[in-house]
């Protein structure tokens, strides 16, 4: 659960912030690309997390 929050929270915070205050984010394209990739990295980490920590998944 912690990895999910670490990976997706910046994405949602940046998207909300860009909707209310576009000047608050410098280099908006780069920041949006980085937080989007961070969310996608979470998807690639899920199989590793499940394989290491879930006993049911290992069976």
Has residue 56 got a pLDDT over 80?
no
For residue 54, the tally of other CB atoms under 10 A from its CB is 10
Burial-class residue 24 by CB neighbours within 10 Å (0-12, 13-18, 19+): exposed
Model-wide pTM > 0.75: no
Q: What's the rounded Cα separation, in Å, for the pair 1 and 25? A: 27
Alpha-carbon distances of 45 from 12, 15, 21, 30, 36, rounded to whole Å:
19, 22, 32, 22, 15
For 14-35, write each residue's pLDDT tens digit: 999 988 987 888 888 999 999 9
Q: Where are the domains of the chain?
A: 2-58
């Amino acid at each position: 659960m912690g990895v999910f929050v670490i990976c997706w929270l910046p994405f949602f915070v940046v998207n909300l912030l860009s909707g209310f205050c576009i000047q608050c984010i410098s280099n908006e394209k780069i920041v949006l690309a980085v937080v989007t990739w961070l969310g996608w990295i979470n998807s690639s980490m899920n199989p590793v997390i499940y394989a290491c920590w879930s006993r049911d998944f290992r069976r």
